[in-house]
Chain A
Amino acid sequence: MSKIIEGLKYSDTHEWVKVEGDIAVIGVTDFAQKEMGEITYVDCPDVDDEFARGEEFGALESVKASSDLYCPVSGTVAEVNDAVVDGPELVNADPFENWIIKVRMSDASELDSLMDADAYRAMIGE
């Protein structure tokens, strides 16, 4: 049973979004980190890089496979979590505490197209 936090937004590619004003804090879900297994590398963009919704912004690499990360909302990168770049295993340890990037949103209405906790739980079938 994967941990799912109420009040966050979820994408169908297993990213979560926490809204803090015009900033979207983005990480991957507990379900995603379990599927990937031991994560060994986090590939992150640079601050000020711009992404459209659904665009690939980075990748996670695990002992099993490499998996792309998709930006759930459009915007520019405001901050990158250097802690997970230096310690990819943090994503396994607590995927909600250890976010990956913060994005300054250009269109907050895009949040409406993301799932809530219940919808995400239904999607992963748990």
Chain B
Amino acid sequence: MKYYDKLIFELSREGRTGCSLPSKCDSCAGTDAIPAGLRRAQPAALPEVSEPDVVRHYTALSQMNFGVDSGFYPLGSCTMKYNPKINEEIAAMPAFAALHPLQNDLPGVQAVYEGLDRALAAITGMKHFTFKPCAGAHGELTGLMIIREYHMSRGDMKRTRIIVPDSAHGTNPASAAVCGLEIVEVKSNAGGLVSVDDLKPLLDDTVAGIMMTNPNTLGLFEKDIREIARLVHDAGGLLYYDGANMNPLIGTVRPGDMGFDVMHLNLHKSFSTPHGGGGPGSGPVGVCEKLVPHLGVNVSGFNGNFGVMLRAYAYILMLGRQNVKLCGKLATLGANYIKESLKDVYRLPLTQVCKHEFVFDGLTHDGSCEGRQGATTLDVAKRLLDYGYHAPTIYFPLLFHQAIMIEPTETESKETLDAFIGVMRRIADEAASDPGILQGAPHNTPVSRPDETTAARNPILKFQDA
């Protein structure tokens, strides 16, 4: 792909226009209608470009990006499922698109919120949801604030500790720290699940609750969840469910039935609304019946991003009660298919049946030998870019040194999965024979390996000549 980094202003040529406007308008007052003091002293500095210039410029910029519309995106823990275009059509309807954020009380808007609340409650086993949180981690913070309020409303001021497994998403301890809670880590056992034996001694009357992801970040179902829920509840704590990994459970298992009291959902993951730069995100929080009085915690000025709720609601209604159950099953089938097809060339530390995602621990043969460094997980990920794939999540979870976390989602065909498996095998072959190919990758992208640390530490945030 050709590298393109021009600014629209660099294309500007004096006098060039995309359309011609009449120089004088007889039926309006023109600038005379604007008080002299409010008129521009100088014309606005706008780029002067033709229509094809504009179209080609923005098309070229869009091609510098990679998204689910460009290709397979097996980014573990992110559920990069395809975003159906019908959602966009509905969100673009003028009656929705022209709404002001303060028009929340219009009956049509209310109907969408109420309908989505009912649907999500049915899917999760929660009683009601708040739609204010604007992203997953924002939802985590909201959920923890609800837990804290619940304990304080009972006059129980001692509960300042929150238990977080060592396999948790990094946002869990971060959100707990922002909420002012003390984080206590519980270890995973050899099978990659939360150790009930390690959990027991941590439970006392200072525990506000436990944050869990199920299936966890290794893609494994926490089979002891009912036992864990009983232990935590007996100790007076609550259970928080991190909904990042909800996708494989939709229509099959409900967090409410597992014993969770509070949870968030990432509508941009499980419910097909756009991610990241295409967002905005949405992290609604659901609670069980006894926490409904605390659902009103104020975490944002508006009732979330309405356009995102609308897309998620459209997605659920389009699938319907029966088909929504297929999402999790197909996502799980796809993940296990890739795992079994690659486990001879990538190390698989945990061999049991996974849910929607799984973790390899690097290459079986990384090509290292006397005097030659082998290929790492980072090198595999960079090489995948050369073959036109988005890289999987790497070096997470931290339980394995060379972690590669793959999540295919249910929207990919067997042909897509087979093509990806073929490329992963080819990369493993390359590593074994000549790891240098991987260490120099990517070779075919507009930018190779950027200096991420310097970019993060000393970012250049405005245009400047090189």
Which residues of A lie under 8 Å from residue B398 when comparing CB positions? 64-65
Q: How far is the CB of A41 from chain B (nearest CB, A)?
A: 4
What is the bound-complex CA distance between A88 and B457, given in angstroms? 14
Stretch binding the partner chain, chosen from A6-14, A32-40, A47-55, A109-117: A32-40
Q: Which of B376, B378, B395, B453 is A61 in contact with, Cβ under 8 Å? A: B453
In chain B, positions 380-409 with a C-beta closer than 8 Å to chain A are 395, 398, 401
Q: Would you call A38 and B453 a contact (CB within 8 A)?
A: no
**Is B32 among interface residues, defined by CB-CB distance under 8 A?**
no
What is the bound-complex CA distance between A38 and B376, given in angstroms? 10
Chain A: which residue is nearest B452 at the CB level? A40
Q: Would you call B457 and A63 a contact (CB within 8 A)?
A: no
Q: Which of A40, A64, A88 is B395 in contact with, Cβ under 8 Å? A: A64
Interface string of B449-466 (1 = CB under 8 A from A): 000110001000000000
In chain B, positions 414-466 with a C-beta closer than 8 Å to chain A are 452-453, 457
Q: Which of A37, A41, A64 is B457 in contact with, Cβ under 8 Å? A: A41
Q: Would you call B376 and A40 a contact (CB within 8 A)?
A: no
Q: Would you call A37 and B452 a contact (CB within 8 A)?
A: no
Q: Decide if the interface of chain A is mainly helix, strand, loop or mixed.
A: loop
What is the bound-complex CA distance between A41 and B457, given in angstroms? 9
Q: Would you call A63 and B401 a contact (CB within 8 A)?
A: no
Q: Would you call B376 and A37 a contact (CB within 8 A)?
A: yes
Q: How far is the CB of A53 from chain B (nearest CB, A)?
A: 23
Q: Which of B378, B401, B457 is A38 in contact with, Cβ under 8 Å? A: B378
Q: How far is the CB of B419 from chain A (nearest CB, A)?
A: 27
Chain A: which residue is nearest B396 at the CB level? A64
What is the bound-complex CA distance between A42 and B378, given in angstroms? 20
Q: How far is the CB of A3 from chain B (nearest CB, A)?
A: 16
Q: Number of A residues contacting the other chain (C-beta, 8 Å)?
A: 10
Q: Would you call B378 and A65 a contact (CB within 8 A)?
A: no
Which residues of B lie under 8 Å from residue A61 when comparing CB positions? 453
Q: How far is the CB of B396 from chain A (nearest CB, A)?
A: 8
What is the bound-complex CA distance between A37 and B376, given in angstroms? 9
Which residues of B lie under 8 Å from residue A63 when comparing CB positions? 378, 395
Q: How far is the CB of B352 from chain A (nearest CB, A)?
A: 25
Which of A35, A38, A61, A63 has most B Cβ within 10 Å?
A: A63
What is the bound-complex CA distance between A65 and B378, given in angstroms? 13
Which residues of A lie under 8 Å from residue B395 when comparing CB positions? 37, 63-65
Q: Would you call A35 and B401 a contact (CB within 8 A)?
A: yes
Chain A: which residue is nearest B457 at the CB level? A41
What is the bound-complex CA distance between A37 and B373, given in angstroms? 13
Chain A: which residue is nearest B403 at the CB level? A64
Chain A: which residue is nearest B398 at the CB level? A65
Chain A: which residue is nearest B170 at the CB level? A65
Q: How far is the CB of A21 from chain B (nearest CB, A)?
A: 35
What is the bound-complex CA distance between A37 and B398, given in angstroms? 12
Interface string of A44-80 (1 = CB under 8 A from B): 0000000000000000010111000000000000000
Q: How far is the CB of A126 from chain B (nearest CB, A)?
A: 15
In chain B, positions 51-93 with a C-beta closer than 8 Å to chain A are none
What is the bound-complex CA distance between A75 and B401, given in angstroms? 34
Chain B: which residue is nearest A35 at the CB level? B401
What is the bound-complex CA distance between A63 and B395, given in angstroms? 8
Which residues of B lie under 8 Å from residue A64 when comparing CB positions? 395, 398, 401
Q: Would you call B378 and A40 a contact (CB within 8 A)?
A: no
What is the bound-complex CA distance between A14 and B376, given in angstroms? 23
Interface string of B121-132 (1 = CB under 8 A from A): 000000000000
Q: How far is the CB of A84 from chain B (nearest CB, A)?
A: 13
What is the bound-complex CA distance between A36 and B103, given in angstroms? 51
Which residues of B lie under 8 Å from residue A65 when comparing CB positions? 395, 398
Interface string of A13-41 (1 = CB under 8 A from B): 00000000000000000000001011011
What is the bound-complex CA distance between A61 and B453, given in angstroms? 8
Q: How far is the CB of B381 from chain A (nearest CB, A)?
A: 10
What is the bound-complex CA distance between A35 and B399, given in angstroms? 11
Q: How far is the CB of A99 from chain B (nearest CB, A)?
A: 21
Q: Which of B378, B401, B453 is A41 in contact with, Cβ under 8 Å? A: B453
What is the bound-complex CA distance between A35 and B395, given in angstroms? 11
Chain B: which residue is nearest A88 at the CB level? B453
What is the bound-complex CA distance between A61 and B454, given in angstroms? 11
Given A63-B378, A64-B395, A37-B401 contact (CB < 8 Å): yes
What is the bound-complex CA distance between A41 and B454, given in angstroms? 8
Q: How far is the CB of B147 from chain A (nearest CB, A)?
A: 28
What is the bound-complex CA distance between A65 and B457, given in angstroms? 15
Which residues of A lie under 8 Å from residue B457 when comparing CB positions? 41
Interface string of B349-393 (1 = CB under 8 A from A): 000000000000000000000000000101000000000000000
Which residues of A lie under 8 Å from residue B401 when comparing CB positions? 35, 37, 64
9 chain-A/chain-B pairs, Cβ below 8 angstroms:
A35-B401, A37-B378, A37-B395, A37-B401, A40-B452, A40-B453, A64-B395, A65-B398, A88-B453
A residues near B, CB below 8 A? Answer: 35, 37-38, 40-41, 61, 63-65, 88
B residues near A, CB below 8 A? Answer: 376, 378, 395, 398, 401, 452-453, 457
Top 8 closest pairs, chain A to chain B, by CB: A64-B395, A40-B453, A41-B453, A63-B378, A61-B453, A65-B398, A63-B395, A41-B457
* New contact pairs (17) apart from A41-B457, A61-B453, A63-B395, CB-CB < 8 Å: A35-B401, A37-B376, A37-B378, A37-B395, A37-B401, A38-B376, A38-B378, A40-B452, A40-B453, A41-B453, A63-B378, A64-B395, A64-B398, A64-B401, A65-B395, A65-B398, A88-B453
